[in-house]
A and B are shown apart, each in its own frame.
Chain A
Amino acid sequence: MSLWSRIRNVLRGDRLSREIDEELQSHIAEAIEHGRDPTEARRSFGPMLAQREESRDIRLIAWLDSLRADAIFGGRQIMKRKVTSAAAILSLALAIGACTSAFRLIDALLLRPLPIAEPGRLYILSGRFIGADDKPTSSEQFAYPIFRRMRALVKDQAELIAIANASRIDLTYGSDQEMEKAYQQLVSGWMFSSFGLRPALGRLLTESDDLTPGQHPYAVLSYDYWTRRFGQDPKVIGRTFRTGNDIYEIVGVAQKPFAGTEPGIVTDIFAPTMMVKYNGIVRSDYNWFRTFVMLKPGVAAAPVREKLSAPFQAFLEERVRGLAGIPKPLLDRYLGQQLSLDPASAGASGMQKLYGVPLAALGVLVALVLLIACANVANLMTAQAAAREREMALRVSIGAGRGRLVQLLLVECAWLAFLAAAIGAWFAWWSAPFVVGRLGTLDNPARLMLPADWRVVGFGLAVALGVTILFGLAPALRAPGVRPASALKGGDRPHARPRLMRALIAVQVAFCFVVLFVAGLFVTTFDRLSAQRTGFSTERLVTLETLAAQPQPAALWEQVAEHLRTVPGVEAVATSEWPLMTGESWSGFISTHGAAPSAVPSYFLSVSPGWLPVMKIALVDGRDFRANDTLPGTAIVNQAFARQYFGLENPVSRSFDWVTNDSKRVRYQIVGLVADTRYRDVREAMEPIAYFPFKANYSRGTFMVRTSAANPLALSSVLRQEVPRARPGFRVSTIRTQTALVEQHTLRERLLATLALFFAAVALLLAGIGLYGVLDYSVLQRRREIGIRVAIGAQAGDIARRVTADVFGMVLAGGLAGLGLGLASVRYIAALLYQVKATNVTMLALPSIAILATAFLAAVPAVIRAVRIDPVNTLRSE
């Protein structure tokens, strides 16, 4: 109560002073009334002010009161210099906001523990091996039979949980015409109890929902999906939906905010693993889920891993025995896998792997920008401290303590930092979702949980505080060192301050160089990647990924294609099993002349006659497929295929064997040779591809439609309607342009290049402003000296050189330091670069030129000012 009243008194300090004064005055009046001599009565109190101060200090918290006074004074100082303060606050705000935003993203994607009971005990299994490119890599995907074996083995120490990758499925709550998309995750029934999750509604899945393949069509919704799709309607329990040929019943809603284990994707529907397709429960060659391990309390991870290693190795060897068709070096690599058990408290997702390093790199870039902004503000504060030297000297001479002066200046800095943090918070609130929106593709949006909770707020406050200390402490500590006698006389150390400022310039330039350099690498990477030839034309090409209720013969698919050709605005239509560049692939080993299979696999794709011309893939020799070509039997290969397996021979009318994994040989005769294309990704080389006739029964296929309109998506709603009209039972699942399919592979690079370029521009601008400020200030400080030099006949060039020489020395030193830093940091981002070497002269020259040009630009006003100094005026004013 007393503390509270003292805090409250701080807030009404003026009134408190008035009350004390009034009480003392009333006392004096009373004394006079009782016959005391007025002068004597007044004198008895001693100095009135001291009396008031003493009483004030008793009735409030003195340090809080002085802080309040400093805050008001600091606020006034900031308001007095509106333009410089605004510039400082805005540059800091941008940098703090960007840092907070980067932290929000990194935290949400990589650090934030899953909302489950004891995420610290959650681990994930993976197999580590040496990949095809001789680099270490790992696979987190497992097959169900080995999962079962491993789960039984460590039952007492840990619970193994199978969680499939979230997949985007088509489902309907009504008719086929109302198909919609949702993220579904197949999970072990016991996942919910292991994670300590409770239902928000209905019930969750249990172990008894996960016993017999195909027999448990029950679904649990995530709270997010329940809210988004059903508006939290409690009647959702018992509703059914159909996906493919399965009808699921909704049995419950999981508690908030659990939405799967894949940061980047918000899972909508959980279903038991037993509902997996393609016989996934019994097949050993189908790896389709991640294996999470929930350790029992007090159990260490290492022994569990040891225990699981033996059955894992045994399983691998078993598998290899059935794989006679695969070349031995590949099998050895497969067998050399090491089982690894790693903490997974933040879950596991592809997006973590894809964006973990880029986000960290961006985080470092924005942190550097923040430091550059800090250096600017520190220089600003130093310059202002110099301008306020007399004020400080006055304060010292009337008895201000050292601590009190440091506090005064730090409070002013804190004002800047916290105003900047407030604006930065707004910027982070806006920009983090903006970036997330650019991580996914249009039809496959990324969603990250981005709550602004204590972690984010705490980070923002810590940054603001750190920033205050960074740019405020040096000038603040310096201020009380002022010697009143000399400062009030006019100062005797004109060169003392610029030393700190010049050092900061070097630091700024070094950081700026790093930011520019890394941004240059990212931009070049994106540039090189987008300039990659794909080998086919994406112009006006739209892909209709289509599903059929049952596998349908090729003739019926051709009927639909024929119907689409009659739609106005359609130029040509062909069919393939899937479009190129979706990331999907099918490959196998090739043998020629009956020899052992080659170690290099070839991609396969089934395509209809006319597919090559629609894709504008040039026919080099031979012919396109015809309606009477058979599968298996005929094939068209690309030039990479010919080079790989036939050397210099012309492969047309020769034959090859596709050696299946169980070492069956299927013979194909080559009827055509076509130009190279990329199959999966622009980063890959032009790999061998064999095209097969689209002749089997397919439940899915893609119509490649070349339209006459420039925007191929203009026809999409018409095409979507025309497909089922041509043939009931056929339904378009996804419509994308071929261009989008190609560009999705460079989304990450585009994002990195854009953001890095933006921050590089900001860094350059800030460094330029910093340089300008320091030069301008040093001219101001040295105007007496310059005036004398001009008076005794110095040339303009000489003055300009003198004013800029030491600062340019700093720029050079900073640039060199930046170069070293940049080259040292490159190995952390090597995985993000494509066809660009850090040691490339252009990559190093560009940032250097940009910085030098900025430095020259920043120096011009100061030099002009120096040269124009009128010695008569300057010397007279001193």
Chain B
Amino acid sequence: MPKPDSLQGSLDLLVLKILSRRPRLHGYAIMSAIKDWSGEVLRAEEGSLYPALHRMEEAGWIRAEWVTKESGRRARIYDLTAAGRKQLDAEESRWEAVTAAVNRVLRTV
């Protein structure tokens, strides 16, 4: 059951991770990937996905370019930059530290 705010600050991490596996995705594809790969548990809202994408683009973690698809429609696709790769590593290890800590708490109590 997808929840709107089930991402809780991990949206950046997910986007970066997805782009590191599958480069050159547009916004809709990223959104679908989050849904599919999480087994339909996680869901990114359009209203928060695009601001996050634009923020990361301004931060230089991802870069965007316009491509024209076979259907003739233009789409803005995103790609990871070197800084983004570094950021992904940092976010990943932070995430692992946090989940490990949370698990420890859960086991202890």
Contact = CB atoms under 8 A, between A and B. Distances in A.
A51 B58 contact: no
Given A26-B73, A59-B54, A45 B26 contact: no
Contact of B51 (A30, A31, A33, A58): A58
Interface in B5-36: 26-29, 32
Given A26-B75, A30-B28, A6 B50 contact: no
Given A1-B60, A23-B76, A26-B74, A51 B50 contact: yes
B59 interface: yes
B54 A55 contact: yes
Interface string A506-521: 0000000000000000
Contact of B54 (A27, A31, A58): A58
A2 B59 contact: yes
A20 B76 CA distance: 10
Contact of B47 (A2, A30, A33, A51): A51
Contacts of B54: 20, 55, 58-59
A381 to B, nearest CB: 38
Contact of A31 (B28, B71, B73, B76): B28
B94 interface: no
B44 to A, nearest CB: 11
Given A2-B58, A5-B58, A22-B74, A27 B45 contact: no
B57 interface: yes
B89 interface: no
A13 to B, nearest CB: 14
A54 B45 CA distance: 14
Interface residues of B, number: 21
B34 to A, nearest CB: 14
Given A30-B75, A55-B51, A59-B54, A44 B27 contact: no
Contacts of A1: 60
A26 B28 CA distance: 9
Interface in B47-79: 47, 50-51, 54-55, 57-60, 71, 73-76
B58 A6 contact: yes
**A-side binding surface: helix, strand, loop or mixed?**
helix
Given A26-B73, A30-B75, A44-B45, A54 B51 contact: yes
A27 B74 contact: no
Contacts of B47: 44-46, 51
Interface string A103-144: 000000000000000000000000000000000000000000
B46 interface: yes
A24 interface: yes
B50 A55 contact: yes
**A: interface residue count bin:** 20 to 34
A6 B55 CA distance: 11
A34 B73 CA distance: 15
Nearest to B64: A23
A90 interface: no
A33 B26 CA distance: 14
A182 interface: no
A29 interface: yes
Interface in A1-19: 1-2, 5-6, 19
A26 B57 CA distance: 18
A22 B26 CA distance: 12
A30 B26 contact: yes
Nearest to A5: B58
30 contacts: A1-B60, A2-B60, A5-B58, A19-B76, A22-B76, A23-B27, A23-B50, A23-B75, A24-B50, A26-B27, A26-B73, A26-B74, A26-B76, A27-B26, A27-B50, A30-B28, A30-B75, A34-B32, A44-B45, A44-B46, A45-B47, A46-B47, A55-B51, A55-B54, A58-B51, A58-B54, A58-B55, A59-B54, A59-B57, A59-B58
The 6 closest A-B pairs by CB, nearest first: A30-B28, A23-B76, A58-B54, A55-B54, A45-B46, A58-B55
Interface of B: 26-29, 32, 45-47, 50-51, 54-55, 57-60, 71, 73-76
